[in-house]
Amino acid sequence: MSRSARPRLLPFGDSAVLVVLGEGVDPALNARARRIAAAVEAANRDDPRFGRPVAAYASVLVPVDPIDPGVPRAVEQLERLVEEADASPVGAADDDQQPPIDLPTRYGGPDGPDLDEVASSHGLRPTDVVELHASVVYRVYFLGFAPGFAYLGPLPSELVRPRLASPRPRVPAGSVGIAGEQTAVYPVDSPGGWRLIGRTRVRVWDPTSDPPALLLPGRRVRFVPARD
Amino acid sequence: MLEVLEAGLLDTIQDRGRPHHRHLGVPEGGAADSWSHAVANLLAGNDPAAAALEMTIVGPRMRALADITVALAGADLGARVEPGNRPLAPGRSVRLRAGDELVAAGRAAGGRGARAYLAVAGGIDVPVVLGSRSTCRAGSFGGVDGRPLRPGDVIHGGEPGGEPVDAWPAEPIAPHIADRDGTVVVRLIAHAGAGAARRVVGRRWTVTPASDRMGLRLDGDATPSEQPEVTSHGVVRGTVQVPPDGRPIVLLADHQPTGGYPVAGVVIAADLPALGQLAPGDGVRFVLVDLVEARAALEAQRAAWAATLDLLRADAAWHDLWRSAGA
């Protein structure tokens, strides 16, 4: 049913427009959101009155100058652009031009202090969890929470776990975590509430690189069990 | 050059921020009160977007390692120059001699505002990362190593550009805060379909000490809600979120680019600088306005800014005339 809902363009304060496609975590809605964001970004790239769009699960936030064009005129201008971008069928070709990003990951032990708990909560062995987690080709839904923090999904239902009740004060950079239906890699040392099952040496965030984030919206990602 | 001798509560290097990387999870950052930040820079003869030092409630103690012109705007945090115990009021610039110390011991009782901006002639010179010199604590980059200033840090000024200005011919702090008399009234555009707006307007909120550069955390007559979360979506500075406990969060400069709490509305652009001047204990009240009123408010503010710049230019022209005649 997600395909039948037309995008709604809502004022979001006086300096942004929020394009809403639906609710929930849905790969099809997310693909449409990313495609709309890319189209809006390309159309307004040289127009300083529009900011860089931010796609999330099922929406796109478009920053606009509050006087010129101002939100009412921006909604008019964006409506047609959004409709056109959304009109063609979503093809796998859009997202899968580039190969999946492989992240060698050390699972369990000191690198994955929550692996055993995730396993036992679903009546699985830790090796089952590793195999399941590594068996999926994930999609980057969007980035948020911290620079370079990519929300990956969909997670197999057997691995779904809520966040920790209390976050850890320090999660080492590269830690691989699970929360809800998502998995993610912590890009820098930070406090964190996700359940940690492993760690990768791959640097997913480097502000001196271009682009500074490795896991960009729409990219495919795989975790590869490794010894180091 | 200024050496930090004692750190303040939260001193960070900020410019206008980095708005073009939110899609990568990077907070926009930048000065929490963009108005006062610009005033400080113009006083120092800088481009208004130059990097300056944002001080919060209690500022640092710093020593000038060379002669340097600095300027101050925003809240009055009790800044003084030693030796001589000379006050440095917001809205003034001063020439520090090598060896002078500048200290901002804290806001006087009954004072207005939370943040002051110290601009240095030429702008503060730290590396540009992702298009900005602002401090990004979430990513540990920008400013001075992505963190608040510590004793031993040395701040360098860049090449001085324009002439410093002695005194700002208007209030050197964000509008709204300038003429506040108790509770600050903040204007909000309601978010569509938001029963959440009703839980936020029509009552007085108090800023709690849990507030920081990511957001103001308010307390007061909170209405808890059954609705725990919404599907995460992009958010902006000034977004008013209502978590399940009903106590609003007003997003500030370092907010995460996406959020999953219900949104009551978004503070209008004209009132964003005032948000950066709200301190723990301050009172806030939200009123709903529409886009027409929001636009009028911003246009009025920009007109007031332009009028002040005209005054400055007139003063500068007079200053030049005087000097060319007398010197």
Quote the minimal CA–CA distance from B203 to chain A in Å: 20
Nearest to A10 by CA among A57, A75, A83: A75
Compute the count of residue pairs across chains A and B with CB atoms less than 8 Å apart.
148
B279 contacts B210 by C-beta, under 8 angstroms:
no
Q: Can you give the pLDDT at residue A147? A: 97
Predicted confidence (pLDDT) per residue in B94-121, tens digit: 999 999 999 999 988 878 899 999 999 9
- Considering only CB atoms, A144 lies closest to which of B232, B295, B302, namely B232
How far is Cα A63 from Cα A72, in angstroms, rounded to an integer?
13
Tens-place pLDDT, residues A39-56: 999 999 999 999 999 999
Q: Are B29 and B253 in contact (CB under 8 A)?
A: yes
- Going by pLDDT thresholds of 50, 70 and 90, the confidence category of residue B212 is very high
Residue B321 C-alpha, separation from nearest chain A C-alpha, in angstroms: 37
* Mean pLDDT on B48-71: 97
pLDDT of residue B192: 80
Q: How far off is chain B from A74, nearest CA to CA, in Å?
A: 12
Cβ contacts of A12 on chain B, cutoff 8 Å: 191, 236, 239, 266
Per-window interface: B 4-43 vs A, CB < 8 A: 19-27
Q: What would the mean pLDDT of A75-91 be, rounded to a whole number?
A: 87
| pLDDT for B194 | 57
pLDDT for the residue B326: 62
* pLDDT (average), residues B265-279: 97
CA A143, distance to chain mean position in Å, is: 5
When pLDDT is averaged across residues A56-71 and rounded to a whole number, the result is 97
Question: Which ipTM score applies to this complex?
Answer: 0.93
With cut-offs at 50, 70 and 90, classify the pLDDT of residue B182: confident
Higher pLDDT, A96 or B22: B22
Quick check: B327 pLDDT over 70? no
At B315 the pLDDT is 77
Q: Residue B112: what residue type? A: R
Average pLDDT score over residue span A119-128: 96
Q: Over range A150-157, report the average pLDDT.
A: 95
Give the per-residue SS3 of A25-49.
Answer: CCHHHHHHHHHHHHHHHHHCCCCCC
* Percent of chain B residues past pLDDT 70, beyond the cut: 97
B25–A147 C-beta distance less than 8 A: yes
Residue A96 reports pLDDT greater than 90: no
pLDDT of residue A2 exceeding 50: no
Query: Which region among A94-108, A169-183, B8-22, B147-161 has the lowest average model confidence (pLDDT)?
Result: A94-108
pLDDT of B213 reads 98
Question: Which of B141, B233, B257 is opposite residue A59, by nearest beta carbon?
Answer: B233
Q: Is the CB of B236 less than 8 angstroms away from the CB of A207?
A: no
The pLDDT of residue B217 is: 97
| Most A CBs within 10 Å, among B140, B233, B263, to test the A interface | B233
Q: Scanning every residue of chain B, which has its alpha carbon at the shortest distance from the alpha carbon of A69?
A: B295
> What pairing do the DSSP bridges indicate for beta strands A16-20 and A8-11?
antiparallel
Contact B139 A207 (CB under 8 A): yes
Mean pLDDT calculated for residue range A136-141: 96
Interface test with B, best of A2, A12, A170 (most B CBs within 10 A): A12
Which of A10, A57, A71 lies nearest to residue B231, judging by beta carbons? A57
* CA pair distance B261, B268, nearest whole angstrom: 19
Query: Considering only CB atoms, which chain A residues are within 8 Å of B191?
Result: 10, 12
What's the confidence (pLDDT) of residue A154? 93
Window 144-163 of A: residues touching B by CB (8 A cutoff) are 144-150
Q: Minimal Cα–Cα distance from B112 to chain A, Å?
A: 27
Give the per-residue pLDDT at A165. 87
Return the DSSP state at B304.
H
Give mean pLDDT, residues A30-45.
Answer: 95
The whole-angstrom distance between B212's CA and the closest CA on chain A is 16
pLDDT of residue B317: 77
Contact assignment for A18 to B25 by CB distance below 8 Å: no
A22 → chain B, closest CA residue: B231
CA distance B320 to B4: 35
How many angstroms separate the most distant Cα atoms in chain A? 59
Is the Cβ–Cβ distance between B85 and B100 less than 8 Å? no
CA distances from A100 to A137, A156, A187, A203, B110 (A): 8, 18, 18, 16, 59
Lowest mean pLDDT among A44-48, A91-95, B10-14, B132-136: A91-95
Residues pairing with A55 in the sheet: A60
Residue B76: closest CA among B155, B205, B177, B213: B177
> Quick one: pLDDT at residue B318?
76
Q: Which of residues 69-128 of A touch B (CB under 8 A)?
A: 70-72
A67/B299 Cβ within 8 A? yes
Count of CB atoms within 10 A of residue A115's CB? 23
pTM for this entry: 0.94
Tell me if B275 sits within 8 A of B212, measured CB to CB.
no
Under DSSP, the state recorded for B92 is E
**Whether the predicted pLDDT of A117 surpasses 50:** yes
The pLDDT of residue A1? 41
For testing contact with chain B, the best of A54, A65, A189 (most B CBs within 10 A): A54
Buried b (16+ CB within 10 A) or exposed e, B147-178: bbbeeebebebeebeeebbeebbbbbbbbbbe
- Tell me which residue in A18, A187, A188 faces B233 most closely, judged by beta carbons: A18
Going by pLDDT thresholds of 50, 70 and 90, the confidence category of residue A155 is: very high
Which chain B residues contact residue A215 at CB under 8 A?
Answer: none
| Residue B266 contacts residue B191 (beta carbons within 8 Å) | yes
Per residue in B184-209, pLDDT (tens digit) is 999 999 998 657 898 899 899 999 99
- According to the model, what pLDDT value does residue A203 have? 97
pLDDT more than 70, % of chain A: 95
Give A84 to chain B, closest Cα distance, Å.
22
**Residue from the list A10, A70, A148 with its beta carbon closest to the beta carbon of B192:** A10
DSSP string, B14-56: ESS--GGGGGGT----S-SSHHHHHHHHHHTT--TTS-EEEEE
pLDDT band at residue B180 under the 50/70/90 scheme:
low
Q: Over the stretch B63-96, which tens digit does the pLDDT of each residue have? A: 999 999 999 999 999 999 999 999 999 999 999 9
Q: What is the residue-wise DSSP string for A119-165?
A: HHHTT--HHHHHHHHHH--EEEEEE-SSTT-EEEEPPPGGG-BPPPS
Q: What is the pLDDT of residue B198?
A: 86
